[in-house]
């Protein structure tokens, strides 16, 4: 072959060698021989080669080396939660691998092929059937989804006996812990991760605050001006620096989570700092008015605990309509009296609003059929658009 391209005048630096037919012939014969394989022999061969390709990737590629670290961290956190290595564990999280709950939950299967693949957008009847069949011992999911599963167990359609739930992606309230205790006698432990930085920590089996894995990350809770915030005080945001090998290094990477650090170490003896609370995203803030007319920022998470306790209330969303009026959209459980649920919702919100000293001119409660979820993770969206 002529390496020169006549039109462009470009000269390829190297001519491609013509392969020696004597070298090609044996490989060709082998490939033609495979055309006569059975389908079973073909699939066996494919599995062997795939395992070899993955071993090579793990040894040679930075991405796979990093994934090994992240997966090992995930398995370490499972131990920290108190789960046995062979326990039946599954996750119900985001429908897309773009979100951490989807990728991390895939690793929870630990190579078992019998674990159902479920997301929070899987039809509920399918989730119930799969859980009844699999009988998981540990379930990782959103706290709003734990409430849905409790409804199903209560209605007699779901019949599982999990020992433990791990709450991820959304803010965990005491109400959800109590609910899981009453419904299943199960413990709910809090987990904390971000899609950008991976799993940042979990609670240990003492359920006394998320332990941040400080061998993997440097974790700072800071104010609006990025100055450190003392334990016991909520920050305005979080800065994360990753310490493990990764193609994408994060250095003081900003995450808009509002968290409060705990001053003392956990009685379990692990060396990590704990979070006293994770209140949610900074975006979920309402700007209302104090009685003297000053602006008062109220994190919508403050209303989560009172609303989680309203009987018959399935999901809710706050909408700021003006400086002194809010709308609460609510979804009501089937069979519940929507008028009574709306009235209880109103009194729960009014009580909390009075407690924090907000002057509210208008409070509307709308019963709706659906409330949108947030992005690819399909998380609860606590504050919605007008
Ligand atoms: Zn601990």
Gap from CA of 207 to ligand 1 centroid (Å) = 7
Q: Tens digit of pLDDT for each residue in 186-242?
A: 999 999 988 888 889 999 999 999 999 998 888 999 999 999 999 999 999 999 988
Q: Please report, for the domain that includes residue 307, its CATH number.
A: 3.30.300.90
Gap from CA of 94 to ligand 1 centroid (Å) = 28
Do 220 and 90 lie in one domain? The reply is: yes
- Residues composing the chain: 386
Q: How many domains does the chain have?
A: 2
The three-point CA angle 100-103-107 to 5° equals: 125
Do 247 and 305 lie in one domain? The reply is: no
Gap from CA of 210 to ligand 1 centroid (Å) = 8
Do 335 and 210 lie in one domain? The reply is: no
Q: Which single residue is written with the structure tokens 């009574």?
A: 340
Domain that holds residue 319: 290-367
Gap from CA of 140 to ligand 1 centroid (Å) = 19
Gap from CA of 386 to ligand 1 centroid (Å) = 42
Do 347 and 252 lie in one domain? The reply is: no
Q: Is residue 161 part of a domain?
A: yes
The three-point CA angle 183-188-194 to 5° equals: 135
Do 239 and 146 lie in one domain? The reply is: yes
Residue 252: which region, alpha, beta or left (left: phi > 0; alpha: psi -120 to 50)? left
* pLDDT attached to residue 9: 57
Identify the three-state secondary structure at position 176: helix
Gap from CA of 323 to ligand 1 centroid (Å) = 42
Q: Is residue 383 part of a domain?
A: no
Q: Is residue 252 part of a domain?
A: yes
* pLDDT attached to residue 180: 97
**Is the CA virtual torsion 309, 379, 103, 249 positive or negative?**
negative
Looking at the chain, the number of H-run helices and the number of E-run strands are 9, 19
* pLDDT attached to residue 5: 44
Residue 170: count of CB within 10 angstroms of its CB: 24
Beta bridge mates, 189: 166
What is the spatial distance between Cα 194 and Cα 188, in angstroms, rounded to a whole number?
19
Looking at 279, 314, 331, the residue that finishes a domain is: 279
Gap from CA of 316 to ligand 1 centroid (Å) = 33
Gap from CA of 274 to ligand 1 centroid (Å) = 8
DSSP for 53-116, written as a single string = HHHHHHHH-HHHHHHHHHHHHHHHHHHHHT--TTS-EEEEE-SSTTSHHHHHHHHHTTT-SSS-
Do 209 and 306 lie in one domain? The reply is: no
Gap from CA of 78 to ligand 1 centroid (Å) = 13
- Residues of the chain below pLDDT 70: 1-17, 62-67, 110-111, 246-247
Do 314 and 200 lie in one domain? The reply is: no
Beta bridge mates, 217: 242
Do 254 and 323 lie in one domain? The reply is: no
Q: Is residue 375 part of a domain?
A: no
Q: Is residue 326 part of a domain?
A: yes
Do 91 and 111 lie in one domain? The reply is: yes
Q: Tens digit of pLDDT for each residue in 87-139?
A: 899 999 888 777 777 777 777 776 677 889 999 999 999 999 999 999 999 99
Extended beta strands in the chain, E state: 89-93, 118-119, 138-141, 164-167, 187-194, 198-202, 210-212, 217-222, 237-242, 253-255, 257-261, 274-281, 285-289, 295-299, 313-322, 325-332, 362-367, 373-374, 379-380
Q: Are 241 and 217 in contact (CB under 8 A)?
A: yes
Global pTM reads 0.78
Do 31 and 73 lie in one domain? The reply is: yes
Gap from CA of 166 to ligand 1 centroid (Å) = 15
What is the spatial distance between Cα 269 and Cα 372, in angstroms, rounded to a whole number?
42
What is the spatial distance between Cα 94 and Cα 98, in angstroms, rounded to a whole number?
8
* pLDDT attached to residue 14: 60
Gap from CA of 170 to ligand 1 centroid (Å) = 21
């Amino acid at each position: 072959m002529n390496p020169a391209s006549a039109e462009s005048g470009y000269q390829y630096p190297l001519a491609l060698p013509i392969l020696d037919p004597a070298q090609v012939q044996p490989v060709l014969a082998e490939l033609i021989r495979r055309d006569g394989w059975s389908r079973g022999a073909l699939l066996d061969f494919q599995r062997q080669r795939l395992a070899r390709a993955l071993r090579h990737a793990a040894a040679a590629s930075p991405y796979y080396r990093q994934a090994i670290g992240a997966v090992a961290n995930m398995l370490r956190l499972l131990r920290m939660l108190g789960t046995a290595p062979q326990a039946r564990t599954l996750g119900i999280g985001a429908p897309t691998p773009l979100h951490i709950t989807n990728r991390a939950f895939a690793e929870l299967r630990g190579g078992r092929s019998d674990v159902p693949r479920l997301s929070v957008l899987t039809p509920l009847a399918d989730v119930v059937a799969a859980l009844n069949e699999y009988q998981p011992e540990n379930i990782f999911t959103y706290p709003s989804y734990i409430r849905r599963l409790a409804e199903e167990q209560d209605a007699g359609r779901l019949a599982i006996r999990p020992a433990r739930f791990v709450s991820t992606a959304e803010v965990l309230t005491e109400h959800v812990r109590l609910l899981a205790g009453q419904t299943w006698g199960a413990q709910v432990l809090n987990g904390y991760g971000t899609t950008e930085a991976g799993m940042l920590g979990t609670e240990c089996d003492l359920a006394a605050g998320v332990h941040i894995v400080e061998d993997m990350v440097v974790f700072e809770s800071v104010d609006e001006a990025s100055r450190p915030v003392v334990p016991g005080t909520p920050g305005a945001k979080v800065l994360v620096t990753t310490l493990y090998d990764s193609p994408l290094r994060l250095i003081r990477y900003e995450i808009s989570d509002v968290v409060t650090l705990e001053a003392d170490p956990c009685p379990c003896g692990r060396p990590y700092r704990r979070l006293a609370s994770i209140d949610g995203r900074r975006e979920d803030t309402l700007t209302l008015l104090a009685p003297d007319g000053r602006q008062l920022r109220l994190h919508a998470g403050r209303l989560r605990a009172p609303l989680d306790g309203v009987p018959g209330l399935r999901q809710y969303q706050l909408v700021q309509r003006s400086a002194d009026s809010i709308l609460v959209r609510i979804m009501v459980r089937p069979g519940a009296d929507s008028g009574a649920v709306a009235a209880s919702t109103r009194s729960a919100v009014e009580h909390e609003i009075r407690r924090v000293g907000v002057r509210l001119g208008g409070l509307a409660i709308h019963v709706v059929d659906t409330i949108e979820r947030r992005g690819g993770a399909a998380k609860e969206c606590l504050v919605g658009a007008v």
